[in-house]
Amino acid sequence: MVSLPNLISLARLLCVPLAVWLIMTNQMRAAFYVFVAAGISDAIDGFIAKRFNARTALGRYIDPLADKALLVSVYVTLGSKGELADWLVILVVFRDLLIVGGALLIHTLTDQRMRLEPLFISKLNTLMQIVLIVVVLAMNGFGIDDHGLKPILVGVTAITTVLSGGAYIVRWVRGTAGVDAA
């Protein structure tokens, strides 16, 4: 149960309140470094788990929990600071609640276990969410001019968020109808 990848995921989870505090106290450069380090830790724990066959049941839950806690918390915090539009924050948070709540609801009502593997559009959406956060933190922490990139990233993030949420709904409908939802 205790493995190096799980400890790394736990450390990433514990970075969430630190990242939120740094953003709330306008220490954007430090928040940038914490966020990037958390992202690197996600890649490292995944590599170790796969390469050294250190996957655990706990890791299947704590790794995505740490990822979602960090992303959602940073989105909400950047939104509260006026660095991200409220509508985008609501969209991102709603999508995650839809995915978790939908999976729990389907499992409860049908006693079916829905596959937890993320869809391609979901992976793309997560990438866009991360890139947007990195750009916003870099702009504020280092005084970098985005040259008009932020509005484009906001739009792409919003589109991939809607498509990802919709794709999960389609998967669930097909899955509960007995159709392979691959």
Q: For the residues of 119-177, what is the DSSP string, one character each?
A: PHHHHHHHHHHHHHHHHHHHHHHH----TTHHHHHHHHHHHHHHHHHHHHHHHHHHHHT
Taking 70 as the pLDDT cut, the residues of the chain under it are 1, 112-116, 178-182
Q: pTM (2 decimals)?
A: 0.91
Q: Give the per-residue pLDDT at 1.
A: 65
What is the number of H-type helices and E-type strands within the chain?
A: 6, 0
Rounded to 5 degrees, φ, ψ at 9 are -60, -40
Tens of pLDDT, residue by residue over 16-46, are: 999 999 999 999 999 999 999 999 999 999 9
How far lies 17's CA from each of 13, 34, 41, 60, 101, in Å?
8, 11, 16, 22, 24
Please state which CATH number belongs to domain 4-176: 1.20.120.1760
